[in-house]
Structure 1
Amino acid sequence: MSSAHLFQQTDKQSVRTLWISDVHLGTRDCKAEYLASFLKRYHADTLYLVGDIIDGWRLRSGVYWPQAHTNVIRRLLTMSKRGTTVIYVTGNHDEFLRRYSALMLGNIHLVDEAEHVTADGRRLLVIHGDQFDVVTRCHRWLAFLGDSAYGFTLILNRWLNHWRERWGYGYWSLSAFLKYKVKTAVNFISDFEQAISRECLRRGFNGVVCGHIHHAEIRRIGEVEYLNCGDWVESCTALIEHWDGTIELYRLAEEQAFPIRQGAELANVVETAA
């Protein structure tokens, strides 16, 4: 049994909204099993797919599509069939879909951006965010070069977590860790956040939900509420809106660590009692 199945719950939790981004189906580093397990646990009124769900860049150089990736698509279709409105916001890796923007297939809507109003009335711009990445927008060749280097770190990440799982440890992202340590990466993330927040403020939104940089976060930038979904390649994260309008950041690593902490605390209690 894979570790993804260990955290699957049988009872579905009803939530108002889910946001996921940067799944990159069609790549070896997509954590499709974890994502399918996560989606099975929720019934949502609305599900936003905030770009880069399918990786068209990688599929052009060769097809990689295991059953786990098909299972994610089937799960999304099942959610739509059962009443969830699925809004697919296009990104740069699935930009081939942008020519079909405004397409509606039943409960599935394809758009380049969307507006979401929370239960407590906040207006949020929902956009992938590649429009605010100067490298992607103005230096496309450099973006592809960076994508190749990034792919190498993901290969290292894959092998690292293979051995961590064999030794009983939870998921941990090497590539995400490097983002916090490399100054240029930190500066790039900060520039991206500032640029997208300024645009959000200019257009009169209370906040923005985005993806693109694979860096999940909820924080305020001036008057703007900045919410980034993260990804399902490195950090395995999502945003969840509850019925009162509060939005929380889900992290797979924190969920995996919780039962381990509980077990350690229980062991300490038993040892103390003995």
Structure 2
Amino acid sequence: MKKITLSTLLLTYFVSFAQSPIHEFTFDGNLSNSNKSVAFQGIGKFTKDRFGVDKKALRVSNESLVANIDNLPQNDSPRTISIWVKFNDITNSNYIWGYGAARNNSYCGLIHQGTSTAESSLNIAAWGFKNDFIIALPLSKEIWYNYTYVYDGKNAAIYRNGILLETFFAPNRQTIGNFFKIGNVNSLVSIDADIDDLKIYNIALSNEAISNQYLSNVPTIIVENNSSIKKSKQEVKKKIPSTKAIVMNK
């Protein structure tokens, strides 16, 4: 019995350790990661988080922040990046996060494009028309959303509030760069949002892990109508520019 119990405990420990983020930024009154080894540089105001606790989240308004992180997943390495966001303005694009180079397939980032309606295009960016993946989503101001991007080396997936929105084939990713940015794409700044609990993993988390992570970190469970999400890549791409076009036309 002792051997079984010890084995179970060890297995649980190693699984838990393997699924721990390599960097976690809680933004609880500071810009450093949880072990104080890396910090964002830039101007940000601390504000209420999704639980209503003051100075436990970061407000970024037409500013950008950057952190030099030397062990970000590179090239086609697996990764998971999770972040909580509350948009204070959706009429202009929100460059949520990104890192890498401004050339084909060498970038990795998340952009919500500006909208004058209740729907916005979410750009899972890799740089270039053929490399970006874009879906249309319902979007509102003043609501906390959790976005999780997963890449396993060949396929990518995007989740919102623990729900899988779409998976897509994404071969030959060549992400190169150590500067992780919030509110900035290729030196252009566009964001007006509150940011909380940024987690960066060097593994591709499973559906179950992402769902459990969301359910254990949300004050009120948000149920979305998936039928309103347009999953047609071709339909959306007829209207929406690529990462390169967004930057050039901003």
TM, length-normalised to structure 1: 0.26
Q: Name which structure has the greater RCO, CA cutoff 8 Å, separation 6+.
A: 2
Structure having the larger proportion of residues in strand:
2
TM, length-normalised to structure 2: 0.28
Structure having the larger proportion of residues in helix:
1
